[in-house]
Chain A
């Protein structure tokens, strides 16, 4: 059984259709990359999976259970699915450590004391142990994104979603963030990335989906999709970005 399955998911904002019947299946430990032009619906799809946006029709199954049922309390589900955005992730009035501890304390009801050791371990694991007491504006853009990832991981999510998390970064800072993703990949985290980093997708993804006009036009293993795309539009897009 797939860890996460999307079945004919549709979503629109007024007259603007942003998902036209999307089907997608992600296995445990798999890394799926969503590529496509800006506005093709990648971000919205991730927000729908996380239940930040309610879907209009179709189903989203997590471990085979429909989590998109209208009226369902989204909070416990969101806690199982981590997401990191392009920017404005961190809460500027809290230190890095406070950012990370907020949800475990308020949602999981853990005490600051019991959290201290595991949070420290998390920061150390991603080489940010020295930055725990810094405020976001004292951190570089790359460090901020890494703290945001740590913050999502602190909730011990089953799936991680990444929404173009390197797009707003200076080029020299992209590497350190991608390294974190690499590390997560080796640790076996199930991940879905919306990304413009084609080289990275090609290197690490199990599956790449090309989104065009609010639907998944083509999907497949990176070697096939990047070297030998089936659709003209995929080929045209890849030609533009590669």
Chain B
């Protein structure tokens, strides 16, 4: 009897005191969150259009007519982004893995590989992507290569591959380092060679551990494909620039942003989901 009266009003019967307390707490913070979000949205929706320049901004950035006219063309150009991404991603994964393995080489005879791996990752992580794209995309073909070997697609992609492989290599290496040394000892004690230990014991665990981090890298890659436009390929960012120039209107950039977000937001969510799942598994 006394127990029942102690249950606060508004909470479902059958809850423990703690559950009831937490429920109240949750409701209060939800109300607060909803209220403040609504206030901010209202402020933006009501106040921004009151700004004296809003009409002009709307006409140049959020122009429905221009959007409708250019969006199909942008989607079409985005196929180029997807294609570049698709041929770069597997090569990046393989090269990143190879570099990561170089950096893990223990035999003194192979020390040069280890050194190479370290220099490689330092250099390519230290350079802005756009710089590498310019240097390789215009520089290497300028040496006088015949077509089709001087194509900006080839060398631009190579620039992306080199830079991103450096990042992927570092991520994989951190994954390798995260595997407890007993695992290597256990494998070695069974008679497995260093290579077999790496292949069957360390890498499968390491790669699974760093999958979310790598996924984030590949999301970044998807965005950086746009940088290839600087050396010629007409992908969505360049196509938006062309429309901007022809129509003297920035709306096509907003269209391009919409396309990127449509792809990257679900991908980012998924990576976060993987990461959380992993954290739960490890704890």
- A residues within 8 Å of B by Cβ? 47, 50, 52, 74-76, 78-79, 81-83, 85, 87-93, 102-103, 106-107, 148, 151-152, 155
* B220 interface contact, C-beta 8 A: no
- B residues within 8 Å of A by Cβ? 180, 182-183, 185-193, 196, 200-201, 204-205, 208
* Docked complex Cα distance between A102 and B193 (Å): 12
**Contact yes or no, B186 A85, CB < 8 A:** yes
How many interface contacts (CB-CB < 8 Å) are there between A and B? 62
Please give the distance in Å from A195's CB to the nearest CB on chain B: 18
Select one of A47, A75, A92, A102 contacting B205, CB under 8 A.
Answer: A92
Please give the distance in Å from A125's CB to the nearest CB on chain B: 19
Residue numbers in A under 8 Å from B196 (CB-CB): 106-107
Residue numbers in A under 8 Å from B185 (CB-CB): 47, 52, 85
- Please report whether the interface of chain B is mostly helix, strand, loop or mixed according to DSSP: helix
What are the 4 tightest A-B residue pairs by CB atom distance, in nearest-first order? A79-B191, A103-B190, A88-B182, A107-B191
**Contact yes or no, A78 B186, CB < 8 A:** no
**Contact yes or no, B200 A102, CB < 8 A:** yes
Residue numbers in A under 8 Å from B190 (CB-CB): 78-79, 82, 102-103, 107, 151-152, 155
Please give the distance in Å from B193's CB to the nearest CB on chain A: 6
Residue numbers in B under 8 Å from A78 (CB-CB): 188-191
Residue numbers in A under 8 Å from B200 (CB-CB): 91, 102, 106
Select one of A88, A106, A107, A155 contacting B180, CB under 8 A.
Answer: A88
**Contact yes or no, B182 A76, CB < 8 A:** no
Nearest CB in chain A to that of B202: its residue: A91
- Please report whether the interface of chain A is mostly helix, strand, loop or mixed according to DSSP: mixed
Residue numbers in B under 8 Å from A75 (CB-CB): 191-193
**Contact yes or no, A88 B205, CB < 8 A:** no
* Docked complex Cα distance between A222 and B204 (Å): 45
* Docked complex Cα distance between A79 and B208 (Å): 28
Can you name 15 extra interface pairs (CB under 8 A) apart from A89-B182, A103-B191, A106-B192?
Answer: A52-B188, A75-B192, A75-B193, A81-B189, A85-B182, A85-B186, A87-B182, A88-B180, A88-B182, A89-B186, A91-B200, A106-B196, A107-B191, A151-B190, A152-B189
